[in-house]
Chain A
């Protein structure tokens, strides 16, 4: 072998081989890495930043169409002018318009909001008169509670519970990592004036006077200073209402000189409202021991949600928070209040991270065992020693770069484990070989050994780095999700290479003796080797055999590609169950979680009591399941917001028809059934109940492992005419319902709500001296209730509003307003019924916009199959659908490029939801991989100064693909986005293997061996290290197979690498021989 170049490997190993610096480096890395592991914030999944905000504008009394034209359309246009805005959504309802804006994933949050505020405030003059100023509410991930604690009790009501929770909340703010603390559920104190219209009428006190008296008497003002007895004193009008008695004793009229008190004409109640619009409850499920005692109880509950400050560690924050809450529980909570931690993202993250670190070390141990067999224990130990160091470097880099320790970043380490050890293996192997051969000073040999493999190792590592770095180009939410892979693998690879040139020679120099090699693989031409030589000779020299090998390889490749594709082209159509040998293609599989959500939406006309009944019935089924520890029921509002709800935009829904049950399960380690299976099992029973409530939408929402979308399959139907859109929505809903495996179908078209329109008879009203404003002032307290001022008390934690309202039992039928008296300027009372006509009509239907066009949404989820087939099936049904007037529906947005809505002279259905995300991801990843391969090719061309050799070396990539789909089929898994990442990783491994073979062939040639012999010998010699690398990759990744999300990655990698390695040993030398035969001759 010739004198190796003085490359980086030479220089590094020369410095480090005997230096104390090596020990220092090891110690420093260990120290730094340990601190980083401890301090780096932990998360379950990487945080995906999608800056989003809601802008709402009140425009009292304006019809939905008016709001659409005057508020929503201009606002949407203004907002979509901002650079970085991805989509706008808008909702125009009677009296209010809401525009939702979502920025592109990864846009800087603060910058985005500044741009938004800027844009809105610069256009305030375009708002019509009579509308309120736009209220901008940012949807901030950092405000989302990471810990929720529910206080539940059978004996205390939710008013008392809320007070306790608020008391606790105050004590949490002093924790430095705690950000927003919210108390959801429960009720606040208010002074409620229950008016009885009949009693008012009997006393001759008009409602307007009650209002005016309340508003005009709740007053305190400083009146200035005066000097008395030589000193300055201040004068103060003290007229605030301080308690309910003050309100009760308010004089609202008089009769024959006797005062009529407010207490005479109404019931004044101090306390929580009796007539509820929303409630929250808590139940123990059969999975909790407390079920045995409290199982049947219907417990009032409030939930304390604690968010963490940006950049703090959720694990510490959660521990501190819960510790404080436990102490407070012992300190002042009554014994019959249950305190249950219903969400702990810190613990969840910690569990996930610790489990993965554990898995990482299991993988390392497995690899270590393999290494012992191949290299001997000393060498194995040296190689394995570098692994924790790489981990330390990588996590240290994460810490500095601001990446959290999460599942994705750790999976990145596990997946690169095989490649990490490879650098050290290559170096130690060569040192070993050199030591055995002897000849010279030990230090010199060590350095030379490093330098010899340096070139190839550098190249191979650079290839892998390039391949993984290219993942950074994936855009959108998936890009953010996979960012830790794109960052960690290159860092780990670079670190492993550095350590292979520094720590490995140092350790080898110290601990590995000279000339100790015991077994020599090359020395025994076994049966396998003879078979290999025979095959090689046949294929190198006989065209038929060679072409047979090529043919079989290509045929296998095409067949495996058919596995996912067959369902599209099969004669019975794309719908229906997947073929028995097929592999489904999905986006990201669902994960086994410890919680899921049942979201219920009854028709818009449903009173809250009815929604409550549905929620109770569903809950009764859920709590009987032994895997469910507890459930939180929310009626009239959605539950505590989580990441999923934030991205889906369903986090802050309020309304009598909204119900939600948050179901918490026993820990996934303690059960066999996954949350996915459990949901599948429970769904029929829940749907059976919901079927008894016509028009009800049920969604059983599992938290997706990655980005959440509004729905898996989302049809956005764009058009101009609202009636046509509504009709299309109905038809779409039917088609969805008839689609195989489609569940949780929702539409954005609400039910018509009957509205009493109260029309004032202007002549009569004018003759009686009554204005519309007076009538309006009466109607609001009647039906909505109205807050008129507040109690000014020093010891109340909250604003205590004074609310005037008519109790349900006294609420008059709008058709019978005889007893509602309105007072004219002369003080005469006139029955309202004499001044108005009541016309029954329908409430304005809300108008939805997306990206400046009118739209209606129909969404659905798939219970177990992949959405891509459902979409293909649906698209064929929708495309060209007759709409009437000769118009046909056009569909779009399922090609690789995104389509913008277009309603000019047509109606359009654009597919969105997870399918869009999936297409974008696959497109980006495909492009990224292509780009990476081009880069690798250029790199190799530069290195080899040849165009052929890089092509030969890259032939191993498609070979790897052969294993991917059958691998998924064998494991019964869907091909997913993580599988795609696996393929990218596979490309790196495969190129690396073939590069090492080619490098050896060239090396052999340079030592004067004939091309054919050189190729053959290289195959034999490299078979062992390739097998070793393959085993390291396979066994290292095998631990990931059990993970529902990253299983796909492991499958791609394991099966791909297996097949690719086996074929590379045969195909690459043959190809190289054929390609360079001419040159040699």
Chain B
């Protein structure tokens, strides 16, 4: 019986053994890492200026509103908005009829005055001869002399009136005082030009300024003559360096801002009125930066590929901050000193290897 019992126990043991027979499986290996030849770079901790940016607009330093000195109908306007003009170009001609009439009148007055003078001079010569002979009194000569002097003055007056009338002819043609561009044309041919009312607005293109306003708390760091970076949106990413020309020392008591004008370098493809930002340097930070081209996106997240041991890369999610000139500030995700893939490549996946040809060597 106990033999049989033993056998039963054995059966039982075998049953449990069956349940317990297991082995760990081998596992499936991840795909082989590919090797890609991409440049790498080291993440820098660079000093980045702390900038105070203020928006503003480009303005022209010379802006001339052309108006007529004389009154007259506009006979011809030679330019239109946007036309580029040079100094001395004829811009406007005003109907000269009134002016010519005045000249004729003055010339007539002049010849009348000349005739009157020669008559008066002959009177004086004749009376002097008569006085020597005693034919007339001293009194008569004195009066004739006075009449001659008056006529001479009248002649000068008529001459001056003619000169004035002739000068008026010059004002009927208006020429450009500067090299520049026509930005507005307020009157049309046939309109009456009256002194004080602009006909054309022209702006200089040689000298552009950037006007911005600086808040009270930062006006202290702005000094005339300091160089300032100005980013004009229309110029793309390139910043230009201007120089602070003047600070208008009168702030707005409500908005607490002061106007500052910055002289822009010449030769820019900038038109007055373009939007831009002036970046005043108000301090300096040490920040982690990566080249703009290293920034990539995987799974909807911005980040970069970190080159780890043996050149294997893995993706790291980054919080990017300010865009510096050709670099991007990284606020979280990198400590500086890591090696990253310097140029994004769509083929790149976590686990791939980088075979370095350019730039820094990967960390070991």
Contacts and interface: CB of A to CB of B under 8 A. Distances in A.
Interface of A: 157-159, 187, 198-199, 201-202, 272, 274, 276, 279, 281, 286-300, 362, 365-366, 369-370, 373, 519, 521, 607-610, 612-613, 616, 620, 623-627, 666, 669-673, 768-769, 808-809, 816, 818-819, 824, 826, 828-831, 833-834, 1031, 1035, 1038-1039, 1041-1042
Contacts of A613: 316-317, 333
Contacts of B148: none
Contacts of A666: 25
Contacts of B56: 202
A295 B351 contact: yes
Interface string B22-59: 11111111110100000000000000001011111000
10 contacts: A272-B300, A274-B302, A292-B30, A366-B15, A608-B332, A609-B332, A612-B333, A626-B24, A627-B27, A672-B24
Contact of B5 (A158, A373, A519, A620): A373
Contacts of A625: 27
Contact of B28 (A279, A288, A608): A288
A627 B11 contact: no
B321 interface: yes
Contact of A274 (B5, B215, B300): B300
B257 A831 contact: yes
Contacts of A290: 28
B345 to A, nearest CB: 15
B314 interface: yes
B333 A293 contact: no
Closest 4 CB pairs of A and B: A626-B27, A295-B30, A202-B55, A296-B351
B133 interface: no
Interface string B313-345: 011111111110000000111000000000000
Contacts of B12: 366, 369, 1035, 1038
Contacts of B257: 831
Contact of A670 (B25, B217, B331, B350): B25
B19 A157 contact: no
A808 B28 contact: no
A616 B11 CA distance: 50
Contacts, number: 185
Contact of A291 (B29, B275, B349): B29
B357 interface: no
Contacts of B23: 671-672
Interface of B is mostly: mixed
A671 B22 contact: yes
Contacts of A296: 30-31, 33, 349-352
A286 B30 contact: yes
A294 B28 CA distance: 11
B315 A298 contact: yes
A159 B300 contact: yes
Nearest to B3: A373
B25 A300 contact: no
A828 B255 contact: yes
A818 B55 contact: no
Interface of B: 1, 4-5, 8-9, 11-12, 15-16, 19-20, 22-31, 33, 50, 52-56, 215-218, 254-257, 275, 277, 298-303, 314-323, 331-333, 349-352
A362 B13 CA distance: 11
Given A300-B299, A373-B4, A613-B317, A1042 B24 contact: no
A165 B333 CA distance: 30
A818 B29 CA distance: 56
Contact of A293 (B16, B31, B300): B31
Contact of A198 (B22, B27, B277, B317): B277
Contacts of A1041: 16
A534 B25 CA distance: 58
A672 B30 contact: no
A1070 to B, nearest CB: 25
Contacts of B55: 198-199, 201-202, 819
A834 B52 CA distance: 14
Given A366-B12, A1038-B12, A1041-B16, A809 B322 contact: yes
A289 B16 contact: no
Contact of A808 (B215, B298, B331): B331
A996 B130 CA distance: 191
Contacts of B331: 607, 808
B143 to A, nearest CB: 72
Contacts of A1038: 12, 16
Of A159, A289, A809, the most chain B CB neighbours within 10 A belong to: A809
Nearest to B302: A274
A879 to B, nearest CB: 43
Contacts of A671: 22-25
A300 B332 CA distance: 21
Contact of B53 (A157, A365, A819, A1035): A819
A456 B229 CA distance: 105
A672 B22 contact: yes
A276 B301 CA distance: 8
B52 A276 contact: no
B333 A609 contact: yes
A352 to B, nearest CB: 14
B350 A287 contact: no
Nearest to A373: B4
A286 B314 contact: no
Contacts of B217: 818, 833-834
Contacts of A365: 15
A671 B24 CA distance: 4
A366 B11 CA distance: 8
A623 B216 CA distance: 57
Given A279-B299, A296-B351, A609-B317, 9 more contacts: A158-B300, A287-B27, A295-B31, A369-B11, A608-B332, A809-B322, A816-B52, A834-B217, A1042-B19
B295 to A, nearest CB: 11
A295 B33 CA distance: 10
Contacts of B254: 768-769, 824, 826, 828, 830
